[in-house]
Amino acid sequence: MKLLLGLILGGAFGAALQMSGASSYTKMTNALRLRDFTIIKLILMAIGVGMIGVNLLDALGLANIRIKDLYVLGILGAGLIFGVGLAVSGYCPGTALAAAAEGKPDAWATVLGGLLGAAVFAFLFPELEEHLLSIGSYGKVTLHGELGIAGLWLAVPLGGLLIWLAFRLPLKEVDR
């Protein structure tokens, strides 16, 4: 039952990515060049809706919250490496899978490169953990946790702001 739920939710996610152009190299590259805001508006909308919904669930005691640890140096370095990978390939780990399924061979190369990168990380992990991942480590930090208030108090204005921004930004669409 859980497997079927995973397949259905993942399938809907993949279809949404594919149908809105998020799995397009051109769209992603032009988003990063600030020439086509489709993907930026989509992400702002997704996070805005998700933020309000997830925190509403949490207020009702229905959310399975999973906060990721904050380790400042490691997270910064990781984000920088990931960003270069995103710029060069034009895909992220999820959209690469969607683009590969559309038949694009360069996305297959990204998935294979990803499998290798993940494997290399897995074997280097003990080294990295000892030296880098412990620097600036604060555990599971959230904005609302720091303020000592319920997430919903921040999620409604912040999520609303993201959705407003999503509508406010121009589309500047380049569909080539």
Partner 1 sequence: MARARTLGPIPLSWWGGGLAIGLILIIATALAEPIGVSTQYVVLDGVLLHALAPATVAQSPYLEKTAKGWTLETYEFFFVLGIPLGAFLAALATRRLSTRVVPAEWAGRFGPSPAKRLAWSFAGGFLLLFGARFGGGCTSGHMISGISQLAVSSMLFTAALFAAAMLTVRYLYSHPNRPNLPNREGRA
- Subset of residues 36 to 65 that bind partner 1, contact rule: CB under 8 A: 37-39, 41-51, 53-55, 57, 62-65
Which CB sits closer to partner 1, 16 or 134? Answer: 16
Q: Which two structure tokens, joined as six digits, stand for 153?
A: 């108090």
Cα-trace Rg, the chain: 18
Contacting partner 1 (CB under 8 A), which of 134, 135, 141, 168? 141
Residue 117 three-state SS:
helix
CB count in 10 Å sphere of residue 176: 8
CB count in 10 Å sphere of residue 97: 20
Contacting partner 1 (CB under 8 A), which of 33, 131, 134, 164? 33
User: Which of the residues 154 through 173 are near partner 1 (CB under 8 A)?
Assistant: 154-155, 158, 166-167, 171
CB of 72 to partner 1, least distance (A): 7
Residue 71 three-state SS:
strand
150 binds partner 1 (CB under 8 A): no
130 binds partner 1 (CB under 8 A): no
User: Which of the residues 97 through 126 are near partner 1 (CB under 8 A)?
Assistant: 97-107, 109-123, 125-126
